Structure 1
Amino acid sequence: MSARDWIDKDFYRELGVSTDASDAEIKKAYRKLARELHPDANPGNSQAEARFKAVSEAYGVLGDEEKRKQYDEARRLFGTGGLRSPFGGGFGSGGTNFDFGDLFGGSGGQTTTAGGFGGLGDMLGNLFGRRGGSAAATGRPRRGSDVETEIRIDFLEAVQGATVPLRLSSPSTCDTCHGSGARPGTSPRVCPTCSGTGFVSRSQGAFAFSEPCQDCRNTGRIVDDPCPECSGDGVSTKTRTLTVRIPPGVDDDQKIRLAGQGEPGQSGGHAGDLYVRVHVTPHRVFGRSGNDLTIKVPVDFTELALGTTLDVPTLDGKVSLRVPPGTASGRVLRVRGKGIARRDGQTGDLLATLQVTVPSTVDGKAREALESYAEAIAGQDPRPELTRLLQQRS
């Protein structure tokens, strides 16, 4: 892809966000689109697969603070017509715009091997993965991009830890050519235009710019006989199954890093990392507060008034809780060391909240007993503070 093609793309429109969108808004939009367009959710849908790749490419730029800054600056300079001068007007005689096609196309000017021209050309080099310095640095190894995916596990798996298979469709080193891009039995040759640097310099009047070499597509190599599997890119999108170890005590929305499982590097560079975002399905009985395990225990009025002993479930069995007479509804009883154990050795507690239950209907002996109880406590005001306030206002 040429520099012009790259910059002409509207990555903001691909993600459906404004140019002043925050990092959080960009990430949210990407995650939503990635879930909708993922190949696993759209088997055999070539349009969805193409959109998935476009969205991933857009997030690869806008999701990186430095790349986004360079991308925005390049689009500000180029606009929709030509390269604009920061002082108003354009480069060239009479204040006319310097044609964008002259800068990145093949018309006009003198082309030579890049030899250290900086400025705008270096900035554009950064957009294509070059990290400053001379154009000759292009051929050095470059680390692959990081990849993010999501999984959902149940509550007990999150608390106790689990090993989960993960099916992932993502760019990976081509198994046929092992990343060279050339048909097996052949090898790429050094690009004669840029002498293997991936960049050339172009002189236009008083200006000289370094730009990606279009003959080798910024790789420094020419593949005469492309690999039939990856069409010469050295990278192919494929589905693979990984095993993810979920550590005990993982939190909802926590990320787990798998080193070297992201996109493959270039020119012998290391692969990026894979980040797995974990979503935890709530449990129907247990809850969680940090390392503490929480549970709501229904009790009736007599158990609180007279006291009792309750059996309460834990993660690995049960415990007996003593409820003292006169215990109020909503009281929390703590059981030390029966919470969530983490890898660092810390273990939380079990927090049992007592909640009084009221029957929807009362009849027979139960009603007679309650009516007798109400007569026995007649004259006792359960709401003294409210009664005092009402008297003050009457």
Structure 2
Amino acid sequence: MSTDIDYYELLGVERTADGQTIKSAYRKLAMQYHPDKNAGCKDSEAKFKAVSEAYDCLKDPQKRAAYDRFGKAAFQQGGFGGGQQDFSGFSDIFENIFGEFMGGRGGPGAGRTAARRGADLRYDMEISLEEAFAGKAAEITVDVSAACEPCGGRGAKPGTSARSCPTCGGAGKVRAQQGFFVVERACPTCHGAGEVIAEPCAACHGEGQVDKRKTLSLNVPPGVDEGTRIRMTGEGEAGARGGPSGDLYVFIHVKRHPLFEREGTTLFARCPISFTTAALGGEIEVPGLDGETHQIRIPAGIQSGKQISKRGVGMPVLSGRGRGDMVVEIQVETPTKLSSRQKELLEEFRATETGDECPASHGFFSKLKAALG
């Protein structure tokens, strides 16, 4: 029987057949051509071996994937066959199929990590609410690893260069066969860099980086809030072996304000007023973060807890136009120190009360009397 017959044709299934279909087809053919049922028949024996070989390949997802792409060439040089097995040929085929998903080489030197981007850094900055309102130009000092100037961050002595690692051939990785699998790990000689430095730079001792304190200018835009993140591109740690630097992220923290609380672009303030202003109405002045004094009109008869909005005098919109609102919450203050004349006037006022002046309290006591009979 020819050994070139397609495995799918041997089992009588489509190339898209699932595992269960392939298994059922094999069992049917195996029972038909089993040597015990066809004693002495050479053709049946050959057919049984052929369908067994086909099923052994197609039942394994990895073997099947290799067969679908390369045919029986995937199992030459031993491959998944019996006897003395040499998996080196199949490991290359397997990597071509699955390397993109499992970190395969993808070509000479693809695993090399000589040039690597530097790490990002974080800096926490505390500002006042006034500074958050107006914005701020500031200078910050950070300690970073910077690229070594004499060697340009390469780590090699000026005038020399790194050479390809003799252990891994510049790949940065070495491979070892363990049974069915090819194990890949970082090269122990170059530690994944793919190159070694014979003459290290005296300034950085071959590291390509030196510790440095930098002073940076930072513009905090108006309207920043708690947790706002400002990115300073390329001001993070230097990259390894000449790689690009990381970024510096400045996180803003806004201190508590003695008068205002903030919610987005809205400013909230609690303002105590006298009971006479609450009763008769009037105006109060509230200083704003913009340095202006804002007039708030108080309607007569206002109660504690009432909120009054002043449009367009709140926090600026970050990276936009306009401002939010200021919301003033009224707190009516009862006087604790009265002169004799003030007490006389209040006594005269109480003598003229009818109950209509304070409908809420009058209604409450009326209901209470009715409830008690």
TM-score range, shorter chain: 0.5 to 0.7
Matched AA of 1:387: F
Match of 1:334 in 2: 309
Per-residue deviation, 1:341: 1.8
Alpha-carbon deviations, 1:57-98, whole Å to 9, x = none? Answer: xxxxxxxxxxxxxxxxxxxxxxxxxxxxxxxxxxxxxxxxxx
CA distance in 1, matches of 2:206, 2:110: 22
2:298 is matched with which residue: 315, 323, 328?
323
- What is the CA distance between 1:363 and its match in structure 2? 3.9
Equivalent positions of 1:381-392 (< 5 A) are 382-384=360-362, 386-387=364-365, 390-391=368-369
Q: How do 1:6-21 residues align onto structure 2 when only pairs under 5 Å count?
A: none
Report the Cα distance in structure 1 between the residues aligned to 2:242 and 2:212, rounded to whole angstroms.
Answer: 20
Task: Report the equivalent of 1:195.
Answer: 169
Structure 1 pair 272/377, CA: closer, same or farther in 2 (3 Å)?
A: same
Task: Tell me how far apart the structure 1 counterparts of residues 149 and 276 of structure 2 sit (CA, whole Å).
Answer: 71
Q: Which amino acid aligns with 2:206?
A: G
Using the size of structure 2 for normalisation, the TM-score is 0.65
1:340 partner amino acid:
M
Tell me by how many angstroms 1:161 deviates.
Answer: 0.8
> Structure 2: how far apart are the matches of 1:304 and 1:312?
16
* TM-aligned CA distance change 1:284 to 1:238, over 3 Å: same
The 8 Å contact of residues 136 and 199 in structure 1, kept in 2 or not, is answered as no
Q: Give the share of equivalent positions with the same residue, in percent.
A: 34
CA contact (8 A) 1:118 1:210 kept: no
Secondary structure at the counterpart of residue 137 of structure 1: coil
> Normalization by structure 1: what TM-score?
0.61
SS of the aligned residue for 2:294 comes to strand
Q: Is the 8 A contact 1:151 1:277 kept in 2?
A: yes
Alignment gaps of 5+ in structure 1: 1-113
Letter in 2 for 1:373: F
Please say if residues 292 and 351 of structure 1, whose CA atoms lie closer than 8 Å, have aligned partners that are also in contact.
yes
Deviation of 1:368 after TM superposition, in Å, equals 2.6
Does the CA contact (< 8 Å) of 2:208 and 2:241 recur in 1? Answer: no
What is the Cα deviation at residue 170 of structure 1? Answer: 2.8
What RMSD over aligned residues (CA atoms) do the two structures have, in Å? Answer: 3.2
Do structure 1's residue 277 and structure 2's residue 251 form an aligned pair? yes
Per-residue CA deviations over 1:214-238 (Å, capped at 9, x if unaligned) read 1112111211222334332212333
Q: How far apart, in 1, do the equivalents of 2:311 and 2:363 lie? A: 36
What is the letter of the counterpart of residue 359 of structure 1? P
Name the CA shift for 1:317/1:202 in 2 (closer, same or farther; >3 Å): same
Aligned equivalents of 1:207, 1:286: Cα separation in 2: 66
In the TM superposition, residue 239 of structure 1 has moved relative to its aligned partner by: 2.0
Deviation at 1:273, TM superposition (A): 1.9
Among 231, 255, 259, the alignment partner of 1:257 is 231
Conserved 8 A contact 1:115-1:201: no
- The equivalent residue for 2:201 is 227
- Aligned-pair distance for 1:169? 1.8
In the other structure, the counterpart of 1:106 is: none
After superposition, the Cα gap between the structure-2 partners of 1:388 and 1:301, relative to the gap in structure 1 and judged at 3 Å, is same
Quick check: which has more Rg, 1 or 2? Answer: 2
CA contact (8 A) 2:147 2:242 kept: no
Could you say what secondary structure the match of 1:240 adopts? strand
Aligned to 2:324: 348
Instruction: Please say if residues 286 and 295 of structure 1, whose CA atoms lie closer than 8 Å, have aligned partners that are also in contact.
Output: yes
Distance 1:309 1:391, change over 3 A: same
- State the aligned residue count: 276
Q: Is the 8 A contact 2:152 2:242 kept in 1?
A: no
Paired residue for 1:242, among 203, 211, 216? 216
Q: Distance in 2 between matches of 1:281 and 1:273?
A: 26
Q: What is residue 75 of structure 2 aligned with on the other side?
A: none
Given that 1:135 and 1:199 are in contact with CA atoms closer than 8 Å, whether structure 2 keeps it comes out as no
Q: 1:277 to 1:385 in 2, by over 3 A?
A: farther
Retained in 2: the 8 A contact 1:116–1:136? no
Aligned-residue offset at 1:138 = 2.6
State how far apart, in whole Å, the 2-side matches of 1:358 and 1:166 are: 49
